[in-house]
Structure 1
Amino acid sequence: MATQNLLIELFVEELPPKALKKLGEAFAGVLFEQIKAQGLAGADSKLTSFASPRRLGAHVTQVASQGADKAVSQKLMPVSVGLDAAGNPTPALTKKLQALGADASAVASLKRAMDGKAEALFYESNVKGATLAEALQKAFNESVAKLPIPKVMTYQLADGWTDVKFVRPAHSLLALHGSDVVAIEALGLKAGTITHGHRFEATVDPVVIKHADDYAATLERDGAVIASFAQRRADIVRQLAAAASKVGNGARAIDDDALLDEVTALVERPNVLTCEFEKEFLDVPQECLILTMKANQKYFPLLDATGKLTNRFLVVSNISPADASAVVGGNERVVRPRLADAKFFFDQDRKKTLASRVAGLAKVVYHNKLGTQGERVERVRKLATAIATQLGGHDLAQQADQAAQLAKADLVTDMVGEFPELQGIMGRYYALNDGLLQDVADAIEDHYKPRFAGDELPRNQTGVATALADKLETLAGLFAIGQLPTGDKDPFALRRHALGIVRMLIEKDLPLSLHELLSHAVALFPQADAKTQELLADFIFDRLAGTLRDQGYSAQEVDAVLALRPQRLGDVAQRLAAVRAFAALPEAPALAAANKRIGNILKKAEKADAHVSAALLKEDAEKALHTMTQKVAPQALAQFEAGDYTGSLQTLAQLRDTVDAFFDGVMVNAEEMDLRLNRLGLLATVHQAMNRVADLSRLAS
């Protein structure tokens, strides 16, 4: 059957810019899948999606005008119900056939087949394939219903009575199969050939689309609109780079994908213009200026070759006048009060020291069950001081205590009140203004790090101690009151906090025990019970396991290492490397299986400690195992304590032959109690030696 290309467009009022990209992808994607599911598009059909501030659309290649007929076999009823003893149709069968548009003459052609234990009658027929209009109507309705938008508008149609629900009021519907209009209706609209272009720069209105393949070109030529979201975005990127290069000195627009997507969703035909502001505003921390330009005005600040903010910025305009000076001047006038506000906040905040603001935290509620930010600060101080004492002694502890005390003080400043995203960043600037040590100031900013996956870690030990303390306090407190993450819900970002702790302990190779850290943190909360620390430890090790698997380690390797709950996480990578090297040895499978067997035996034993009496060794095989263990175990232990985990496991591989011989020739559960306990003690000794680096039984298949 001949095919043509299909074009669908729904023209609406301005769509939510932050959601436009997803709306466009979802609208086109669902439409395409539904058309394919109904047999009108095949594997060779291609989809192109369109999304601009006022339209959602899709272009699909090789779409048939009607789906292929399908052979359908429909079960009617058991033979015993449909036919009488003489083989004639019963009234029940006759009625069923009439409902399907057939009569008694169809009885002879009915198929008989077993259905379970009984024979049944089946009616076979050809179902005509859906027409394009039918299929497209169903596909369009499905795509509208599945748009990923939490809230829809309810508005009235022109008749004044009919209510319609959609993201934004819809004004026209375009549906072309080649050059033919497809007769569908939606949202009170009938499909046609017209759409509308740019509000101000379209050369004609309405814009008439004569063929499905002419849509994008006609809309750009006559309507001054680039319909493709991806094409518009690429054009903005190109124009930003070109405008920055004209400024010179290695200038570049700030890199922000979210801002780029949002701006792409705000314009129909982008035009990038270069603007500037007074240099005096550069005395304000650049993070403040960048944030206000991005968040409030959707501008792209320009950085110089060193990453320092310049007094130039780029605007993505939706109009392209011959003389753009009025547009440039207007944007410069708009941004000036925003920058002036930032300068005012910065100047006012510096009139008070951070230390003087700490008392104000007692009035800021952190959590109704965990008290104020002031109370929280005192808990973090205790943890930070304890951690820093272990990491660097008295001097580091003093710095960490000061950083922890001041870390939240910027929450009560005017600047952070206006821009919460700047918390920590402004604290650093104000600390430096107060004359505090650079390390303390950096720690105030860094105690929030890492803030997201891949973010940098605190830059110094003071920051590490403060960041660990802050995250541990958050986790312990919320676990103590039962606020654990569930499913996809993690309102307090506890998974991110746990991953931050894991990253710092591993990447900074900190000589800290996770058990001790959690113990100190949980002890700060009277709400905690006996299970709080256990649940918290499980939570952190789960995050660690996921991270390690993402790094390419197998589930078996990760399981073997983490089964021992290593408390110094900085050793985990070395343990994993050792396990991987051990698993490659020819002795590994047999030793892993033997280790699993030993573990099972010891679990069932009432009492077995790692103690062996040489006088009670009777069989040659147990004597050989004891001798080999005495030779190998001390060497493996020395290597383990020296951090040579790979060497330790490879040394233990020498036990393979004697372990195998032991199980072949020795009855562990001997009738004599002293022999039995001695053999269990020998196995416990072997088990203890073999499972210092990892639980090798987890490697057994």
Structure 2
Amino acid sequence: MTDPKNLLVELFVEELPPKALKKLGEAFAQGLFAALKAQQLAADGARVTAYASPRRLAVHVTDVAARAADRPLSQKLMPVAVALDAQGQPTPALLKKLAALGADASAVPHLQRRPDGKAEALFLDTTVPGATLAEGLQAALDEALARLPIPKLMQYQLADGWTSVHFVRPAHRLVALHGADVVRVQALGLTADRVTQGHRFEAKAETIPLRDADTYAEQLREEGAVIASFDKRRAEIRRQLDAAAAKEGLKPIDDDALLDEVTALVERPNVLLARFDKAFLEVPQECLILTMKANQKYFPLVDSAGKLTERFLIVSNIRPDDPSAVVGGNERVVRPRLADAKFFFDQDRRKTLASRVPGLDRVVYHGKLGSQGERARRVQAIGHAIVNQLRLATVPYTVDAKDEFEVLDSKVREAALLAKADLLTDMVGEFPELQGVMGGYYARHEGLRDGVAIAIEDHYKPRFAGDALPRNHTGTVLALADKLETLVGLFGIGQLPSGDKDPYALRRHALGVIRILVEKNLPLALDELITGAQAAFGDTLAEASVSGPLLAFFDDRLANLLREQGYSAQEVDAVLALKGRRLGEVPKRLAAVRAFAALPEAAALAAANKRVGNILRKSDTADVPPTVEPQRLVEPAEQALAAALAEVRPRADRAIEGGDYAGSLQALAALKGPVDAFFDGVMVNAEDVDLRANRLALLAQLHAAMNRVADLSRLAA
């Protein structure tokens, strides 16, 4: 590697899509860096820095060579027996191969013989000249641009009026500097030089000649009024937001997605305080917050209790001496938005949710699954089935408990019928993100009985990873019913997720069901829930095979979730291998497996368990009696194992029945010695058929006792 210097490449374009900017900047930098490394132009310790602003994508790479080092290349040609004839002369096949590689017969004396498997082959050893930076950067630039995750390509014409170019936005300048030297590469009809541009309105000059690769960020900041780094610009916005809010004794809404989008919209952030009329605070704050964030990219301010105030923050892209015109303009713009929200809220409350329910029959849910009205009735039926399953899980129950279940069933039926009615309101029509939330507000406005309004609001929860779960029993049942209806219905008609495509968010729905069952420790079996949900579809899914594929889908989601939570693949496999369908028990079983794995006896017992499982799998099930005959236990080691099992198994079973899974597994530690002695001193596959059958029966009992909490064989190395 010769003459290493730092490299800067910048593509100056028209305003890039804000929601894609961060990914575009990272992809451009990493793509260019990877291509330079692959050509050995960037040193092993080279560092890459990405820059991305509304009008530029740039990358800075340290320690880039002007020319890569030459490298040896060894190319296998063919077996010696094929390459040379009996007299050792090159065959036509060898000469043809050499010609294809740009060599001729003069290279034959220099070919190397080397072992290749059982025979010898000829190899051509050459030296490949290292790429020049101009050549390598051109290839790297072409590759990086071709691989950008561009949401939608534009087609535009170059200055000659007839050459068309396809890119995310029209490009106007290209910079490529190796130290202080320009690298003459081309892209998108542009030839690289050292000139860029700064802020559209506040730069000191229209153009900025860059001195070298290392002064890029500094010159843009000082001469161009631009913070080129996405991360530094984001941090500056966050700092200004917090400082401006603190002056008011308030705090800005925490929204990373909004902060990323605003960072992609401004080059020189300037946070300003603005206000709206307090009368708008009569509207639910979710509506006001959403309209300010989604439509205007403002940061609403809330008090210490999380209640919205009439103040909000603007992130301006300019810094005038007198910001009053900017503030006033934004206050005038937001007023009609908030007025619309107030109008929608007032109009919606003139009709009850119940009066909107018939209209759901005219709203298509899915072409094969009917209307939203049909969907609501299915959710109602599934919710009723879930309440019945809960009732059965608590039998025997008291009279008070029976009454409690009847009240719960009544609330679930009412909430399920009304939960989708807010889809027909003006507010949800304008802001679909508020479905459920607005239903809860309208239900409270109507004075619906306690718990129903909360259930309507919560039935979409959890909406995303880390979201809160439903707050009451009615909402919990309704959320389960709603998600199961979606999953069973779409699986039933074959609308399964594929790769990255999940248009109906079925993975999110499945994780929601899992979180509710696990975190609320509900005594519900997943397979029974699916069966009950499918029954609600009647003839629509009567012939569909739903349970198997959907259970496998849940298993996959649950395994991924548990691994993300820090459990090892072995721990997760051990617990999930039993296919237990009461997911509320999974955390206790995982904790028990982790505690068991820490015991000194664990590794040996896991290995023995695996060995027992293999023996039983290779045996004909008909050869394994259901019970052990004590009189056929002739070897001391098998007698000792039977005695130990007779002592340990009842203790382990009692622990399981009491919910002490860790205690159950720890009780098994006493079996290590007898199990080791059994395999050391007893031949399982004895010639005597009766002895063999009795020993298999003993191993079957041992296997059953050891695998009630988890499949311990999955812990074996």
Same fold (TM over 0.5): yes
2:20–2:151: 8 Å Cα contact kept in structure 1?
no
Distance 1:258 1:118, change over 3 A: same
The farther-off stretch of 663-672 and 643-652 is: 663-672
Tell me the CA shift for residue 579 of structure 1. 2.5
Query: Mapping of 1:22-61 within 5 angstroms?
Result: 22-61=23-62
Q: For residue 393 of structure 1, give the secondary structure of its aligned residue in structure 2.
A: helix
Tell me the CA shift for residue 191 of structure 1. 1.8
Q: For residue 346 of structure 1, give the secondary structure of its aligned residue in structure 2.
A: helix
2:74–2:123: 8 Å Cα contact kept in structure 1?
no
Distance 1:86 1:518, change over 3 A: closer
Q: Partners of 2:548 and 2:96 in 1: how far apart?
A: 68
Q: Which amino acid aligns with 1:113?
A: R
Q: For residue 606 of structure 1, give the secondary structure of its aligned residue in structure 2.
A: helix
Residue 571 of structure 1: aligned partner: 585
The farther-off stretch of 26-35 and 162-171 is: 26-35
Residue 110 of structure 1: aligned partner: 110
1:110–1:121: 8 Å Cα contact kept in structure 2?
no
Tell me the CA shift for residue 368 of structure 1. 1.1
1:639–1:648: 8 Å Cα contact kept in structure 2?
yes
Residue 345 of structure 1: aligned partner: 344
Q: Partners of 2:91 and 2:680 in 1: how far apart?
A: 75
Tell me the CA shift for residue 614 of structure 1. 5.0
Residue 559 of structure 1: aligned partner: 573
Residue 218 of structure 2: aligned partner: 217
Tell me the CA shift for residue 80 of structure 1. 8.7
Residue 507 of structure 2: aligned partner: 495
Q: For residue 467 of structure 1, give the secondary structure of its aligned residue in structure 2.
A: helix
Count residues with an aligned counterpart. 697
1:376 aligns with 2:392: no
Distance 1:256 1:95, change over 3 A: same
The farther-off stretch of 222-231 and 691-700 is: 691-700
Query: Mapping of 1:497-516 within 5 angstroms?
Result: 497-516=509-528
Q: For residue 192 of structure 2, give the secondary structure of its aligned residue in structure 1.
A: strand
Tell me the CA shift for residue 622 of structure 1. 5.2
1:76–1:123: 8 Å Cα contact kept in structure 2?
no
Q: For residue 518 of structure 1, give the secondary structure of its aligned residue in structure 2.
A: helix
Q: Which amino acid aligns with 1:377?
A: A
Cα deviation code 1:41-96 (max 9, x no counterpart): 21333322221111111222333322223344566788899999998999999999
1:592–1:699: 8 Å Cα contact kept in structure 2?
yes
1:235 aligns with 2:249: no
2:84–2:90: 8 Å Cα contact kept in structure 1?
yes
Distance 1:442 1:217, change over 3 A: same
Distance 1:576 1:190, change over 3 A: closer
Q: Which amino acid aligns with 2:667?
A: T
Tell me the CA shift for residue 335 of structure 1. 0.6
The farther-off stretch of 573-582 and 260-269 is: 573-582
1:485 aligns with 2:497: yes
Residue 670 of structure 2: aligned partner: 654
1:198–1:268: 8 Å Cα contact kept in structure 2?
yes
Q: Partners of 1:398 and 1:611 in 2: how far apart?
A: 49
Distance 1:622 1:90, change over 3 A: closer
The farther-off stretch of 488-497 and 684-693 is: 684-693
Cα deviation code 1:601-651 (max 9, x no counterpart): 544231645334556666665555544444433333222211122222333
Q: Which amino acid aligns with 2:556?
A: D
Q: Partners of 2:93 and 2:612 in 1: how far apart?
A: 70
2:198–2:225: 8 Å Cα contact kept in structure 1?
yes
Residue 205 of structure 1: aligned partner: 206
Distance 1:678 1:43, change over 3 A: closer
Residue 120 of structure 1: aligned partner: 122
1:506–1:569: 8 Å Cα contact kept in structure 2?
yes
Residue 697 of structure 1: aligned partner: 713
Cα deviation code 1:183-202 (max 9, x no counterpart): 22222222222222222222
1:40–1:67: 8 Å Cα contact kept in structure 2?
yes
Residue 611 of structure 1: aligned partner: 627
Distance 1:610 1:262, change over 3 A: same
Distance 1:31 1:408, change over 3 A: same
Residue 261 of structure 2: aligned partner: 262
Distance 1:240 1:81, change over 3 A: same
1:461 aligns with 2:476: no
Residue 8 of structure 1: aligned partner: 9
Q: For residue 365 of structure 2, give the secondary structure of its aligned residue in structure 1.
A: strand
Q: Partners of 1:600 and 1:241 in 2: how far apart?
A: 62
Q: Which amino acid aligns with 2:445?
A: N
1:427–1:445: 8 Å Cα contact kept in structure 2?
yes
Distance 1:228 1:555, change over 3 A: closer
Q: Which amino acid aligns with 1:375?
A: E
Q: So what's the TM-score if we normalise by structure 1?
A: 0.91
Distance 1:74 1:565, change over 3 A: closer
2:383–2:478: 8 Å Cα contact kept in structure 1?
yes
Q: Partners of 1:92 and 1:694 in 2: how far apart?
A: 62
Residue 580 of structure 1: aligned partner: 594
1:418 aligns with 2:459: no
Distance 1:218 1:597, change over 3 A: closer
1:472–1:521: 8 Å Cα contact kept in structure 2?
yes
Structure 2 unmatched runs, 5+: 392-403
Q: Partners of 2:316 and 2:276 in 1: how far apart?
A: 18
Tell me the CA shift for residue 341 of structure 1. 0.4
Cα deviation code 1:215-273 (max 9, x no counterpart): 22222232222222222212211111121122x2x311111111111111111211111
Tell me the CA shift for residue 674 of structure 1. 6.5
1:481–1:528: 8 Å Cα contact kept in structure 2?
no
1:280 aligns with 2:296: no
Q: Partners of 2:4 and 2:609 in 1: how far apart?
A: 66
Q: Which amino acid aligns with 2:483?
A: K
1:442 aligns with 2:444: no
1:610–1:683: 8 Å Cα contact kept in structure 2?
no
Q: Partners of 1:308 and 1:408 in 2: how far apart?
A: 27
Cα deviation code 1:511-570 (max 9, x no counterpart): 222232122112223324474212222221222222222223232222222222223222
Q: Partners of 2:215 and 2:604 in 1: how far apart?
A: 69
Residue 399 of structure 2: aligned partner: none
1:409 aligns with 2:421: yes
Tell me the CA shift for residue 417 of structure 1. 0.5
Q: For residue 329 of structure 1, give the secondary structure of its aligned residue in structure 2.
A: helix
Q: For residue 451 of structure 2, give the secondary structure of its aligned residue in structure 1.
A: helix
Tell me the CA shift for residue 181 of structure 1. 2.0
Distance 1:440 1:55, change over 3 A: same
Tell me the CA shift for residue 678 of structure 1. 5.3
Structure 1 unmatched runs, 5+: none
Q: For residue 327 of structure 1, give the secondary structure of its aligned residue in structure 2.
A: helix
Q: Partners of 1:180 and 1:23 in 2: how far apart?
A: 26
Residue 659 of structure 2: aligned partner: 643
Q: So what's the TM-score if we normalise by structure 2?
A: 0.89
2:7–2:61: 8 Å Cα contact kept in structure 1?
yes
1:173–1:191: 8 Å Cα contact kept in structure 2?
yes
Residue 180 of structure 1: aligned partner: 181
Tell me the CA shift for residue 498 of structure 1. 1.5
Q: Which amino acid aligns with 1:21?
A: K
Q: Partners of 1:588 and 1:72 in 2: how far apart?
A: 52
Residue 327 of structure 1: aligned partner: 326
Query: Mapping of 1:54-203 within 5 angstroms?
Result: 54-73=55-74, 110-114=110-114, 116=116, 117=119, 120=122, 122=124, 124=126, 126-203=127-204
Q: Partners of 1:115 and 1:658 in 2: how far apart?
A: 54
Q: CA RMSD in A?
A: 3.0
Q: For residue 565 of structure 1, give the secondary structure of its aligned residue in structure 2.
A: coil
Tell me the CA shift for residue 487 of structure 1. 2.6
Q: Partners of 1:346 and 1:446 in 2: how far apart?
A: 20
1:6–1:177: 8 Å Cα contact kept in structure 2?
yes
